């Protein structure tokens, strides 16, 4: 097997400090006195693991590629005018009819795989991160509501959560898409429905602990509006577990989207995500034309693993039991 050049481009820049990190640093900078804020300690702890930093750097590169795909891709894979069917299924490194090099080969339509992967990353990240974010908003709101109001509200919401979580994600998503049909919006909807319960359960769990603390009582005594107590007092204190779950869920939803698209019930063929690219190349793989499936697969792998490396370390750093 040839070493995947796709990874090479990513590995090339590990030294560059990842963008998200420096943003966080900038936020703490105004504090002239070097007090140990939770954020600063978190950053110090996080930088403890070279592996997690590497994951973050890799993810930054991937996010960059996804965002700037139209500007850095050699070709627009959606523009049929740029494709030549004569370039179909070329091996990685071959030349096109008009002399361009296809570093990662081409698919059956003569599409440059590298461009396809760049655009596919865009769709995958958009769907994955987008649905995780919406699910986070929905789940957090419902989880906080359940914890704060308790009683019947709590039991209704948590029954639904329990019911939802007792079924595997893939099954629920499959059923929703079976009813609604393909399409990016439908995939996002399905992923949100599948995921909100995780956030709701996480937030409720930590909010229940926080709710008994005295500062919430104090806020209630001050007759602050519920909304303010919920989001300004309760929520910030539930953030650490939420960040961990959120990170993991982004990876999970990217993976789930890829699976659904691979099964042919996800995104439409006009806007292929990584999963669909892999599915398209599947039939050629048995005849030895591995690259049509293989390289999108590597891109997917690197994306998911890098997020998981970050998430795994976040869990260690933010684990309240270890912070003593």
- Which CB atom, from 158 or from 238, has the smaller least distance to another protein? 158
Strand partners, 95: 101
- Could you write out the DSSP letters of every residue in 153-214? HHHHHHHHHHHHHTS-HHHHHHHHHHHH-SSHHHHHHHHHHHHHHHHHHHHHHHHHHHHTSH
Q: Look up residue 218 and give its two tokens.
A: 């104090």
CB of 193 to another protein, least distance (A): 11
Smallest distance, another protein to C-beta of residue 234, A = 30
Q: Which residue in the set 251, 276, 277, 310 belongs to the binding site for another protein (CB under 8 A)?
A: 251
Q: Is the Cβ–Cβ distance between 59 and 314 less than 8 Å?
A: no
Give the contact letters, 295-324, x = binds to another protein (CB under 8 A), - = no. Answer: --x--xx--xx-xxx--x------------
Residue 256, C-beta contacts closer than 8 angstroms, at least 6 positions apart = 169, 170, 173, 191, 194
Interhelix angle for 184-211 vs 151-165, to 10°? 130
Candidates 42-50, 68-76, 80-88, 259-267: pick the segment binding another protein (CB under 8 A). Answer: 259-267
Q: How far is the CB of 50 from another protein (least distance, A)?
A: 14
Going by C-alpha positions, the residue among 241, 234, 205 that lies closest to residue 323 is 241
Q: Where does this chain touch another protein (CB under 8 A) — which range of 29-37, 149-157, 189-197, 251-259?
A: 251-259
Binding another protein by CB under 8 A: which of 46, 290, 295, 310?
Answer: 290
Residue 265 DSSP label: S
Residue 241 Cβ vs another protein, minimum distance, rounded to whole Å: 18
Q: Distance from CA of residue 177 to its chain's centroid?
A: 20
Using left for φ > 0, alpha for ψ between -120 and 50, and beta otherwise, residue 181 falls in left
Which helix H or strand E contains 94, and what residues bound it? strand 94-95
Pattern 124-163, binding to another protein, x per CB under 8 A? Answer: ---------------------------------------x
- Confirm or reject binding of residue 175 to another protein (CB under 8 A): yes
Question: Phi and psi (nearest 5°) for 269?
Answer: -65, -20
User: Toward another protein, which CB reaches closer, 27 or 91?
Assistant: 91
Cβ proximity to another protein: between 83 and 307 the closer is 307
In the complex, the residues that contact another protein under the rule CB under 8 A are 1, 163, 166-168, 170-171, 174-175, 177-179, 251, 255-256, 258-259, 262-265, 275, 278, 282, 285-286, 288, 290, 293-294, 297, 300-301, 304-305, 307-309, 312
């Amino acid at each position: 097997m040839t070493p995947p050049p796709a990874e090479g481009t990513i590995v090339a820049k590990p030294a560059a400090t990842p963008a998200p990190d420096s943003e966080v640093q900038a936020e703490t900078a105004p504090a002239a006195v070097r007090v140990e804020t939770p954020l600063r300690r978190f950053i110090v702890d996080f930088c403890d693991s070279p592996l997690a930093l590497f994951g973050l750097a890799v993810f930054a590169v991937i996010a960059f590629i996804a965002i700037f795909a139209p500007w850095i891709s050699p070709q627009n894979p959606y523009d049929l005018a740029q494709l030549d069917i004569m370039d179909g299924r070329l091996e990685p490194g071959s030349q096109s009819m008009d002399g361009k090099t296809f570093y990662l080969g081409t698919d059956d339509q003569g599409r440059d795989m590298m461009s396809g992967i760049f655009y596919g990353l865009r769709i995958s990240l958009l769907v994955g991160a987008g649905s995780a974010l919406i699910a986070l908003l929905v789940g957090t709101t419902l989880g906080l509501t359940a914890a704060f109001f308790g009683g019947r509200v709590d039991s209704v919401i948590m029954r639904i959560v329990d019911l939802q979580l007792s079924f595997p994600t893939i099954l629920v998503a499959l059923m929703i898409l079976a009813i609604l049909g393909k399409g990016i919006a439908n995939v996002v909807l399905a992923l949100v429905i599948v995921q909100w319960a995780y956030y709701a359960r996480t937030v409720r769990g930590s909010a229940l602990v926080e709710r008994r603390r005295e500062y919430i009582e104090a806020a209630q005594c001050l007759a602050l509006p519920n909304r303010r107590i919920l989001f300004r007092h309760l929520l910030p204190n539930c953030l650490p577990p939420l960040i961990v779950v959120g990170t993991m869920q982004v990876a999970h939803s990217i993976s789930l989207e890829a699976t659904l698209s691979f099964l042919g019930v996800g995104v439409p063929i006009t806007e292929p995500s990584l999963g669909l690219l892999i599915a398209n190349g599947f039939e050629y793989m048995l005849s030895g034309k591995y690259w049509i499936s293989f390289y999108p697969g590597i891109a997917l792998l690197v994306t998911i693993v890098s997020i998981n490396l970050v998430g795994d370390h976040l869990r260690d750093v933010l684990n309240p039991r270890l912070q003593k």
